[in-house]
Amino acid sequence: MRILITGAAGFLGSHLVDRFLEEDCRVIGVDNLITGALRNLEHLEDEPRFTLLRHDVSLPLYLADELDGILHFASPASPADYLDLPIQTLKVGSLGTHNMLGLARAQGARFLLASTSEVYGDPQVHPQPEDYWGHVNPVGPRGVYDESKRFAEAMTMAYHRTHRLETRIARIFNTYGSRMRPADGRVVSNFIVQAVRGEPLTVYGDGSQTRSFCYVDDLVEGVFRLFHAEGPGADPVNLGNPGEFTVAELAELVRDLAGSDVAIERRPLPQDDPQVRCPDITRAREVLGWSPRVSLEEGLRRTIPYFRRLVTEEGASARTLE
């Protein structure tokens, strides 16, 4: 198969590139590197089945290559990024999605949209099933990401209904693992980096807000199955780990596994920060035969050494510059 993956140098995109290459696919990666990192793909430098195009998908993309599938993962996805890049976030969710859907239609390719649990906002239904419409503040600071993904879902469904395009929508819940950026502002990476640096762990609010955390290998397998499945139809499918933890519990677990005795520091809760977030994955279990296998503790054990290495390299670079 010939696959195009946008956001290919990002956290999830780069892992998906690897997954499709494992299946002997030819993969074209597209990334403007606004939040992606070339180091996530450096192991593919001599891989003849992989090509990386540096391009902003908010602008049209013309390809002579024939494609069987497009997975649209381009977007700033962490709070630090989309709050710093609000217009770019809205453009890639709207113009970028439109451009990639147009390319999929021209190529007769299957299209998979990386949506997000953020479409549920600060939910009033818990856990969140796919038929819940959400509780989103469209004009709040987080609205740039929430609404870009909600628009992207609507555009994807419009192409499916109007042009009979074969589409999939993955609503992705909190995911963690190697290739996350140390300063991306996500809670898992924040806690791990702070713990290995010996800094206080910053907990926003009282830490009672809950999240579910899915290890990257599990998430990528879910996306892979959703792309290939013949039975799910075009309706969104939640992908995430239904195991629910408070942020305070996560902080304690990271601190213990990192072998750190740093303090926990409380800070004010950001505006519109969801109080609960947990997927109902009944649909994924039924139509994909998928559910996560890696526990939070095991996933953190796999992830902490990656961040420890990055922090060590960062310290070595700083000493060299001195």
Neighbouring-strand partners of residue 30: 6, 53
Catalytic residue annotation: 145
Give tens-digit pLDDT for 79-95. Answer: 889 899 999 999 999 99
Which CATH number describes the domain made up of 2-175+216-240+279-293? 3.40.50.720
What lies within 8 Å, CB to CB, of 293 at 6+ separation is: 218
Q: Could you count the other beta carbons within 10 Å of the beta carbon of residue 253?
A: 16
Q: Is the pLDDT of residue 321 over 50?
A: no
Residues 256-272 have a mean pLDDT of 87
pLDDT for the residue 18? 98
Which helix (H) or strand (E) covers residue 169, if one does? strand 167-172
- Domain positions in the chain: 2-175+216-240+279-293
Give tens-digit pLDDT for 290-306. Answer: 999 999 999 999 999 99
Residues 34-48 have a mean pLDDT of 96
Six-digit token pair at 292? 């996560």
Residues 150-155 have a mean pLDDT of 98
pLDDT for the residue 230? 85
Strand residue runs (E) in 74-130: 110-116
